[in-house]
Amino acid sequence: MPMPLLYQTYDSEWNMSCDFPSHTCNRSLGTQLTLPIFSTAAKVRVTITFILCAVSGICNFAVICSAYGGRRKSHVRLLMLNLSVADLLVTFIVMPLDAAWNLTVQWLAGDFACRLLMFLKLMAMYSCAFVTVVISLDRQSAILNPLAINKARRRNTIQLTVAWTLSAVLSLPQAFLFHQVTITSPAHFTQCMTHGSFQQRWQETLYNMFTFCFLFLLPLLIMVSCYTRILLEISRGMLGDSSSANEIRLRRSNNNIIPKARMRTLKMSIVIVSSFIVCWTPYYLLGLWYWFSPEGLVEAVSDSLTHLLFLFGLLNACLDPLIYGLFSLPLRRSRPAVTVEMESTTHVMTLSCRQLTDRDASRTQEQRKEGERGEQSLLCNSDELL
């Protein structure tokens, strides 16, 4: 059974017996080579994977429709839209690929598909991690520098562009390292793997560690750093030791809707980041063990546990849209009253302006400009609404 996602098979017996670069093994490998089978654990894994694929697809498409259906396109919705797209890449690339590969046991799609799908699979995983990092950076900026929220959309657009670009660039080596390998004895068997791409075992371990650092360790450190700074800022604000905290309290006294929406978005992002960490940490730790001691992992960890941890990681793609829905629905119920209040206030202001004389027209224009600037500031801040 192919090792999923990050496990890149390396076997010295395969390297000695295969004629690289033709990737055809003509020598018998004896009894040391055991071909994978479609075990009971693999059958359960395939079934659950297809269920997760259906649930994740429906939920993430619902989030995308919700993001496009709203009258206001807030920067928070832009972030959730990108996270849903990243989750859909996992849903329609990683999940079906893993299920089909377990069903067929060996690789039947050819060398080009091997290289392309390995590239897309890692890109999907990178994009989920990097978009989650952008969400953390956005929350850090919203709390530590709330007056710069009108620049949030442009800043997030740049960060998301960098995140998707890095996801593609860092995944490119997959297309050159993975290839189709075939043996003819003791049985004709084809697999998509990295074998033969590395001259020494330490080279593959180094590449795997590089992938692990950018895929999990570095995003984890950035996210922990962001929310640590957020918690420290909130603590200082509660004690009144920070001028920025005083500004936040002043804005809260003027308009209570914006801070509530901001706090709700902060809680949502914390739950999303926590979900990513909890779901993927066990599997990545298992990957570390495999890279440094594959024999010890095979002896100590059963195939069933490996399947379970991988499925637990895939669960993250289903949880993200559910978390967004749980945090956005209560706020949407209270939004119509806010809209009516703003519209009625605007109507009263319009009627008052019409009763002014021509002698006060110039002064009225100045007041209107100031009011428009204040209203634009309010609307920019209302981008915190989900």
- Domain for residue 371, yes or no? no
Give the pLDDT confidence score for residue 354 in this predicted structure. Answer: 43
- Domain for residue 343, yes or no? no
Residues (pLDDT < 70) of the chain are 1-33, 69-73, 238-259, 261, 329-386
- Domain for residue 359, yes or no? no
157-174: pLDDT as tens digits: 999 999 999 999 999 999
pTM, to two decimals: 0.76
Angle at 108 between CA 303 and CA 32, to 5 degrees: 45
- Domain for residue 380, yes or no? no
Contact 136, 226 (CB under 8 A): yes
Query: Helix, strand, or coil here: 152?
Result: helix
- Domain for residue 342, yes or no? no
Contact 17, 29 (CB under 8 A): yes
128-164: pLDDT as tens digits: 999 999 999 998 988 888 777 778 888 999 999 999 9
Whether the upstream peptide bond of residue 259 has omega within 30° of 0, thus cis, is no
Contact 349, 326 (CB under 8 A): no
- Domain for residue 374, yes or no? no
- Domain for residue 149, yes or no? yes
Which run of H or of E encompasses 193? strand 189-193
- Token pair 């797209």 is found at 85
Residue 325: give the domain boundaries: 12-335
90-100: pLDDT as tens digits: 999 999 999 99
Record the tokens describing residue 234, joined without a space. 């909130």
The sign one gets for the Cα dihedral 265, 267, 272, 276 is positive
Write the CATH number for 321: 1.20.1070.10
Angle at 367 between CA 362 and CA 371, to 5 degrees: 150
Number of structural domains found in the chain: 1
Residues in Cβ contact with 323 at an 8 Å cutoff, skipping those fewer than 6 apart? 268, 271, 272, 275
- Domain for residue 97, yes or no? yes
